[in-house]
């Protein structure tokens, strides 16, 4: 066995010895020390192995957040198997796609009509375990799995993302990639001994998962709650003295509102400055992650973050600089590097990168052309070396031979005081090929005409980038945290993108 | 090419793009940005390649600290070759051993009588380049080396250490190991954007090298000075706004003395608290590395630090907890793990571990028995999981069937107010096999009898561990920062160690 080996199981083994008294997980009434977690993981691995889960097999979780997500990941890691926590609130059709695509040997599920329907739609030879008492009995009855040698570069986590062809694909992340990403996050976030993370965002998204894993990496404490619920989040932060939670903008506003009577002491939270009320409740942190207000560029395929604003503070680029364990190139369609100031596809290599998508050999080959992972997103190196994220390559608008990037136009639109939210699509145009159309949500009580808005953008960026059409809407449909451009195209007549 | 590749050359390539304006190195009149450093490294690699340096070849540096040490390391990395900065102040005989053992293809050397003598003693077919103008001409004349694919796990740095058989062995560290160790240090030291390290300790020791490489990893600035000289160190800290320097105990006292008129502003230094005068000159830092006063356990073979006191502050173990990228086991002579509270050999696996010693196949096999690197040092897990370093395995004393560890007895001796320094050896004993002998240096103006000293130790630790003999000496001979036990044994009659 290589003296260089380091798997998630090795990390857990070290915590069992190095932190025998340390609290690993808190979830409702459940509190486990690291040795207790390791014991459960061993027995769960034994149960999975008895159901035929070995190297390369898949295990699926369909449910809310739970400490069981972590222990299932670790148990799969011990067997060389792949664990996938998937969004259980999808439609039966979407869930059936996941079941069909992943073909898991074991599914642990929380009771739900949609899951039951999906189960009926597919022919799948899997063991189904209900996530509550049945799961506990499943673990309890098993004998611990013997230690096996698992290569650190074998995939252990699958996260569904990137629906290139209308169906999401499962990005596979290896032990090595997850550990490397955790190290980058430990560095930028300056996570110290005793770090306690409240996983109140969905664990099937890389954003919550990456902090869960970084906390695990240093033997911190993980506090799980089924979903974001402001009052309960406040209670948990106080009760467990959490140092961080998965929170951003509107979620923080929700906590400020829920805690406006200051019933809960949130001062253990060392986090991002947000508003005067919030800053008074917490301890504002000056780590590069918090001081930069958590900026950067990332995607599931790179393990989370590829660049951190905190590594390029004061720089011109909105995405900062690359994580210390990756390297980035901006490439043109032929794979040649573009110069500073020019727009190219953000391509990357490094230790935290994924191992391709499950079951997509052709897509994987295309995404790694020339030995670089192609993110599908466009970016630009500023003269100071920092990186600006421009937008998805497939969403580039071509108008009269000029390239227009929706994100840039959206930034200009949002700088108008009357505009609360905005998204830009390309609509077919007989004369120019395409022309940009803005979909705009006005701020409450504010007003602005299409002409005023177009004029405003013209004052902010090059004239040819200004929208030729403006539509007013009640809201922008979202996919996670970004506009749902497919839905916008459908509703507002988008199309003819040259890259698509 | 693997999308996961990350070599030192890749890191440099990223800095060239991400920090085009950033100062990479400062050394006397030399100031290089990252693109300038990368250009020089490319040409130096071309020069070395023209001299037959390819994958696996060795290149030797015999000289004082210089930015050339870094660029030679990086140039060797580009070629898959191995770079060794060796102590040039050794005797001709010692230097001849290094030349014979390493058989370098190229030697860059600073003029010295000892090196010239050593050169005459060996038959070596190497290109010799003098470190000043000749070296500059060597770099200038070359064409840049083309990019080659270098495996990240290939050795790139060799550091002579561990003289098990009376001759030092060269520990080989790969790109992957160096990068992993840097990440651990970035985390514990909380090195941020703009970190500027003054390399004022010897670069042929891992202590200075590890901070040099961690600073390089985040694209910080490296300031080189030939050797530690207090007035010049003060000047450089002020002039370059250094955030850290390679300093400990007596070196810090030297700076306080050199700067007692406060002629230099050292406030850029974010460093360890040491004395009231020192603390007033600098900015005392509260990162885990500084707050723990730089403690831990390490050796060249693990890339530097294996454990950090900063990851186990307040714990019972003097060495803290393991670095996040390694795992540690305490094993008995049969390779079985010993329980908490028991003494075993500190064994490790993980990403920062070395690739064995150059040219020592049998030793390498012995050191990695059972897939664990055997450090040769003894340690103990405390009940809280932290680790205590006990002492070298080969130095364990066996007296009347009891194991006695010199370090423990030395700690007890040094807690006596009259004792300035102390070392403990085992001397042959007809009745007990061995018995412990203390070699003691009294503090200036202090006095104590052998009986008083033995009595003091008996009050501190178990009685059977007390010295049976006490010798008074003017000083303790040192090897680096630890007692030179071989010299002590020779002078004071040590021997009969059961582990030797």
Q: What is the pLDDT of residue A500?
A: 65
Q: Looking at residues B170-187, what average pLDDT do you find?
A: 98
Across the interface, which of B183, B192, B311 has its CB nearest the CB of A193? B311
**Residue with tokens 């090795």, as numbered in its chain:** A10
Determine the residue of chain A that is closest to B289 in CA distance.
Answer: A192
Which residue from B182, B350, B368 is facing A6, i.e. has the nearest CB? Answer: B350
Q: Are A176 and B4 in contact (CB under 8 A)?
A: yes
What is the total residue count of chain A? 500
CA B499, chain centre distance (Å): 25
Q: Positive or negative, the Cα torsion across B409, B410, B413, B417? A: negative
* Burial track A412-427 (b if 16+ CB lie within 10 A, e otherwise): bbeebeebebbbbbbb
Q: How far is A234 from chain B (nearest CA, A)?
A: 28
Structure tokens that stand for A52 in this block: 């035929």
Say whether A164 sits in a helix, a strand or coil. coil
User: In the structure encoding, which two tokens stand for residue A370, read together?
Assistant: 């020339």
Match 């503070």 to its residue by tokens: A313
pLDDT by residue (tens digit) across A227-259?
899 999 999 999 999 999 999 888 999 999 999
Tell me the C-alpha to C-alpha distance, in Å, between residue A15 and each of A166, A168, B249, B337. 42, 35, 32, 15
Contact A328 B11 (CB under 8 A): no
DSSP-based three-state secondary structure for A144: coil
Residue B463: what pLDDT?
Answer: 86
For every residue of B117-186, DSSP letters joined together read HHHHHS----EEEETTHHHHHHHHTPPPPPP----TTSEEEEEEE--TTSS-EEEEEEHHHHHHHHHHHH
Contact A385 B18 (CB under 8 A): yes
Cβ separation B311–A4 shorter than 8 A = no
3-state secondary structure of B45: helix
Condensed to tens digits (0 to 9), the pLDDT of residues B256-282 reads 999 999 999 999 999 999 999 999 999
Query: Nearest 5 degrees, angle CA B358-CA B360-CA B366?
Result: 125
Chain A residues with CB-CB distance to B311 below 8 A: 193, 218
Which of B252, B310, B246 is CA-nearest to residue B276?
A: B252
**Do A324 and B13 lie within an 8 Å CB cutoff?**
no
Convert the pLDDT of each residue in B274-312 to its tens digit. 999 999 999 999 999 999 988 899 999 999 999 999 999
Longest dimension (CA), chain A: 71
pLDDT digits over B152-164, tens only? 999 999 999 866 6
Q: Which residue of B has its CA nearest to A320?
A: B18
Asked if B467 and B492 touch (Cβ cutoff 8 Å), the reply is no
pLDDT of A208 reads 96
Residues of A in contact with B328 (CB under 8 A): 14, 17-18
Nearest by CB: A14 against B182, B328, B386: B328
Cβ-based contacts under 8 A for chains A and B:
163
| Beta-carbon separation of A192 and B288 below 8 A | yes
Tell me: pLDDT of B336 over 90: yes
Q: Cα–Cα distance between B48 and A113 in angstroms, integer? A: 68
Q: Which residues of A touch B384 (CB under 8 A)?
A: 20-21
Radius of gyration of chain B (CA): 23
Q: How far is CA B429 from the centre of its chain?
A: 35
Residue A374 pLDDT: 97
Tell me how far apart the alpha carbons of residues B71 and B64 are, in angstroms, rounded to a whole number: 14
Closest residue in A to B177 (Cα) is A4
Phi-psi region of B131 (alpha: psi -120 to 50; beta: other; left: phi over 0): alpha
Q: B183, A179: Cβ pair inside 8 Å?
A: no
What is the distance in angstroms between the Cα of A383 and the nearest Cα belonging to chain B? 8
Chain A contact set for B186 (CB, 8 A): 187, 324
User: For testing the chain B interface, which of A5, A12, A18 should be mutated: the one with the most B CBs within 10 Å?
Assistant: A18
Residue A327 CA to residue A330 CA, distance in Å, equals 10
Q: What is the dihedral of CA A152, A156, A161, A165, to 10 degrees?
A: 90
Per-residue pLDDT of chain A in tens (500 residues, 90 and over written 9): 789 999 999 999 999 999 999 999 999 999 999 999 999 999 999 999 999 999 999 999 999 999 999 999 999 999 999 999 999 888 899 999 999 999 999 999 999 999 999 999 999 999 999 999 999 999 999 999 998 899 999 999 999 986 666 678 999 999 999 999 999 999 999 999 999 999 999 999 999 999 999 999 999 999 999 989 999 999 999 999 999 999 988 899 999 999 999 999 999 999 999 999 999 999 999 999 999 988 899 999 999 999 999 999 999 999 999 999 999 999 998 999 999 999 999 999 999 999 999 999 999 999 999 999 999 999 999 999 999 998 888 888 988 878 888 888 998 999 999 999 999 999 999 888 899 999 999 999 999 999 999 999 998 888 888 999 999 999 999 876 678 888 999 999 998 888 66
Contacts 24+ apart (CB under 8 A), B204-209: B204/B85, B204/B86, B204/B87, B204/B159, B204/B160, B205/B159, B205/B480, B206/B159, B206/B161, B206/B298, B206/B299, B206/B300, B206/B303, B206/B304, B207/B246, B207/B304, B208/B65, B208/B246, B209/B85, B209/B157, B209/B159, B209/B304
- Dihedral pair phi/psi, residue A326, rounded to 5°: -135, 165
Work out the number of other CB atoms within 10 angstroms of the CB of residue B413. 25
Q: Are A18 and B386 inside 8 Å of each other by CB?
A: yes
Which is nearest to A33 in space by CA: A24, A42, A43, A44? A24
Q: Do B353 and A3 touch (CB under 8 A)?
A: yes
**Which pLDDT belongs to residue B163?**
63
**Using CB atoms, which residue from A288, A328, A348 is nearest to B192?**
A288
Walk me through the domains of chain A, giving residue ranges and CATH numbers. 8-212 (3.40.50.12780), 226-291 (no CATH), 301-393 (2.30.38.10), 397-492 (3.30.300.30)
pLDDT band for B165, please (50, 70, 90 cuts). low
CA distance A193 to chain B (A): 6
Tokens of B358: 């150059």
**What percent of chain A lies above the pLDDT cut of 90?**
84
* Tokens linked to A344: 């190219």
**pLDDT value of residue A163:** 64
DSSP-derived secondary structure letter, A143:
P
Residue A348 confidence (pLDDT) = 98
In a 13 Å sphere around the CA of A498, the CA atoms on its Cβ side amount to 16
Cα–Cα distance for residue pair A26/A30, rounded to 1 Å:
6
| Predicted pLDDT at B166 | 64
Report the relative pairing of strands A304-308 and B373-381 from DSSP bridges.
Answer: unpaired
Dig out the tokens for B442 from the structure: 């009294």
Q: Are strands A373-381 and A343-350 parallel, antiparallel or unpaired?
A: antiparallel
What string of DSSP letters covers A18-86? Answer: H-TT-EEEEETTEEEEHHHHHHHHHHHHHHHHHTT--TT-EEEEESS--HHHHHHHHHHHHHT-EEEEE
What is the rounded average pLDDT of the residues B398-413? 86
Å from B252 to nearest chain A CA?
27
* Token digits of residue A203: 């664990």
Cβ of B17 within 8 Å of Cβ of A310? The answer is no
pLDDT of B100 > 90? The answer is yes
The phi and psi torsions of B489 (rounded to 5 degrees) equal -55, -45
Is B6 within 8 Å of A325 when comparing Cβ atoms?
Answer: yes
- Residues B113-136: tens digit of each pLDDT: 999 999 999 999 999 999 999 999
Nearest to B77 by CA among B169, B160, B172, B2: B172
């Amino acid at each position: 066995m290589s003296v260089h080996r380091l798997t998630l199981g090795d990390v857990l083994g070290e915590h069992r010895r190095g932190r025998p008294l340390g609290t690993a997980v808190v979830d409702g009434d459940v509190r486990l020390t690291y040795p207790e977690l390791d014991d459960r993981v061993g027995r769960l691995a034994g149960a999975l192995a008895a159901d035929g889960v070995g190297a390369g097999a898949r295990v699926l979780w369909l449910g809310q957040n739970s400490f069981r997500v972590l222990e299932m990941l670790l148990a799969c890691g011990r067997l060389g198997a792949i664990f996938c926590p998937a969004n259980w609130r999808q439609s039966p059709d979407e869930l059936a796609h996941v079941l069909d695509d992943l073909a898991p040997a074991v599914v642990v599920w929380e009771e739900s009509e949609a899951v039951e329907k999906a189960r009926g739609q597919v022919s799948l030879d899997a063991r189904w375990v209900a996530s509550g008492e049945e799961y506990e009995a499943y673990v309890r009855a098993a004998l611990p799995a013997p230690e096996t040698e698992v290569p650190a570069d074998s995939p252990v986590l699958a996260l569904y993302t990137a629906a290139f062809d209308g169906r999401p694909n499962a990005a596979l992340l290896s032990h090595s990639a997850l550990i490397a990403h955790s190290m980058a996050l430990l560095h930028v976030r300056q996570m110290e001994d005793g770090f306690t993370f409240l996983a109140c965002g969905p664990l099937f998204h890389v954003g919550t998962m990456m902090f869960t894993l970084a906390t695990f990496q240093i033997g911190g404490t993980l506090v799980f709650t089924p979903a974001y619920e402001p009052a309960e989040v406040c209670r948990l932060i106080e009760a467990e003295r959490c140092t961080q939670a998965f929170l951003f903008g509107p979620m923080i506003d929700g906590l400020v509102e829920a805690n406006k009577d200051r019933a809960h002491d949130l001062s253990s939270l060392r986090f991002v400055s947000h508003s005067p009320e919030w800053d008074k409740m917490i301890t504002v942190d000056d780590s590069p992650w918090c001081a930069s207000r958590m900026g950067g560029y990332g995607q599931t395929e790179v393990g989370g973050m590829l660049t951190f604003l905190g590594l390029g503070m004061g720089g011109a680029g909105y995405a900062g600089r690359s994580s210390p364990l990756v390297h980035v190139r901006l490439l043109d369609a032929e794979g040649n590097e573009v110069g500073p100031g020019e727009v190219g596809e953000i391509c990357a290599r490094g230790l935290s990168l994924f191992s391709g998508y499950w079951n997509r050999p052709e897509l994987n080959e295309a995404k790694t052309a020339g030995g670089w992972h192609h993110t599908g997103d466009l970016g630009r190196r500023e003269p100071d070396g920092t990186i600006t994220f421009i937008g998805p390559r497939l969403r580039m608008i071509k108008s009269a031979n000029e390239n227009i990037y929706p994100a840039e136009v959206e930034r200009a639109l949002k700088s108008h005081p009357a505009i609360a939210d905005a998204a830009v699509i390309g609509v077919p145009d007989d004369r120019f090929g395409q022309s940009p159309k803005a979909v705009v949500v006005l701020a409450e009580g504010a007003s602005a005409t299409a002409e005023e808005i177009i004029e405003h953008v013209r004052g902010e960026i090059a004239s040819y980038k200004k929208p030729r059409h403006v539509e007013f809407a009640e809201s922008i449909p979202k996919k996670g945290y970004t506009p749902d451009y497919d839905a916008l195209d459908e509703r507002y007549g988008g199309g003819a993108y040259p890259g698509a």
